[in-house]
Amino acid sequence: METTATILHADLDAFYASVEQLLDPMLRGKPIAVGGGVVLAASYEARAFGVRGGMPGRKARELCPQLIFVGGNFSHYQRLGDAAIKMLDDFTPLVERISIDEAFADVAGCTHLFGSPQEIAATIRRRVRAELGLPISIGVARTKHLAKIASQVAKPDGLVVVDPGTELSFLHNLPVGLMWGVGPATRARLAEIGVETIGQLARTHSGALTRLLGPAAGEKLLALSWNRDPRKLETKRRAHSAGAQSALGQKPAVARVIVPTLLHLADRVASRLRAKARPGRTVTVRVRFADLSAVTRSITLDQPISATTMLAEIAGDLVRGVLADNPHERTISLLAISVSHLWENADLQLELPLGLADEKQRPGTAKGLARFGADRAIDKIRERFGKQAVGYGTVALEAARSVPDEFRELAEKEL
């Protein structure tokens, strides 16, 4: 493992909100939120009142009555995000982009050209501010995990360099919620056993973490708490699965809720698979109930699929199985679909018309081919006239569209 801090994690600050303030100077210095029914992003001025991304718009307005909601300028998000990440490419070819507004860079091989890692990071920050008008925070460390944490500590609009000799003293005083992979649910479970800082996590017995979080998550977090992170940058990352989810609030677990939501999710997932010619064999659904407990079910098919209605029906079968096994659950709060075990250049095995009950869900049958053909026709119309030009017969719930699809697409990994 490297013994010097040469990994940068660059993260644009409150990116979507910052772009809106850049485009409209009247919004600068004011609490703003991107979205409407749901807060997609909040400026730091809004965050000071407790407004956060993913929060219902009504609650956000209660916390901050002067909050200004603005619509999303998605083309500008993409343009400015690309331009900011491109600046990292000017210093090193070892850049791993992990989202529209953040990336890792390894500058070990270019310090003789551009100065120390700290100097390179400072130059990048100056350029992003001068050329794009956006704030960006950068963390510099020996490992990816620590560099990402350092960039969070640097926010807003700062630079933090963690010297290898001070790694654990820096890390162990920080809240455990800053760790990669520790979300609200995991943070709450750790708090139950008195773990609130990374140092407390590091001193927790591995057996206790395994019992609490499972062997994989427990071992991973314990290693990261001691800054053991051997991962290298992946400059050509491709997703191994495609998924989509929809938070529903509190909805009854009935067909009129489930069917249109699954069709909407299947449309988002399958259209991505077709666009990259990467059908998948394993379909997984996740059903979250009112108490936030969740059940996951999956099935691996004989042949890979990428047809929308086929995926929606298979997902529907899985969800019905989950509900049948949990008859006491009457309310759902989230549905999700993912497709994995993706294939490239898959050969389609044609099937004889044997009158099987699931012929419509088999890609090699006449009915399966017809469904795929209809999907491709829809794809072509959308490519020419936009996604809203044509859709499927059942319209998804408004709750499923509370977050615009354009916003979701910005976060999707390359297939």
pLDDT tens for residues 29-67? 999 999 877 888 999 999 999 999 878 888 999 999 999
Contact 131, 152 (CB under 8 A): no
Contact 316, 258 (CB under 8 A): yes
Question: Counting Cβ atoms within 10 Å, is residue 31 exposed (0-12), middle (13-18) or buried (19+)?
Answer: buried
The segments of the chain whose pLDDT lies below 70 read: 1-3, 237-238, 345-347, 352, 354-357, 359, 393-415
Backbone phi and psi for residue 182, each to the nearest 5 degrees, phi listed first: -105, 100
Q: Would the pTM count as exceeding 0.85?
A: no
- Residue 185 CB: number of other CB atoms within 10 A? 10
Q: Is 101 within any annotated ligand binding site?
A: yes
Which residue, chain included where needed, has tokens 């991973």? 220
Q: What is the pLDDT of residues 91-133, one digit of tens each?
A: 999 999 988 999 999 999 999 999 999 999 999 999 999 999 9
Beta-ladder partners of 298 = 284
Beta-ladder partners of 140 = 8, 161
- Tokens representing residue 350 in the block: 């044609």
- Tokens representing residue 375 in the block: 């999907």
pLDDT value of position 202: 95
Beta-ladder partners of 296 = 286
The rounded distance, in Å, linking the Cα atoms of 270 and 375 is 9
Q: Is 89 within any annotated ligand binding site?
A: no
pLDDT value of position 109: 92
pLDDT value of position 27: 95
Going by C-alpha positions, the residue among 125, 132, 124, 131 that lies closest to residue 89 is 124
Q: Please identify every residue annotated as catalytic.
A: 102
Contacts of 266 (CB under 8 A, 6+ apart): 308, 309, 311, 312, 315, 337
In 3-state terms, what secondary structure has residue 14? coil
The continuous run of DSSP H or E covering 241 comes out as: strand 241-252
Q: What is the pLDDT of residues 374-405, one digit of tens each?
A: 888 998 998 888 777 787 765 544 444 556 66
Residue 243 carries which DSSP code? Answer: E
pLDDT value of position 85: 94
The rounded distance, in Å, linking the Cα atoms of 213 and 400 is 30
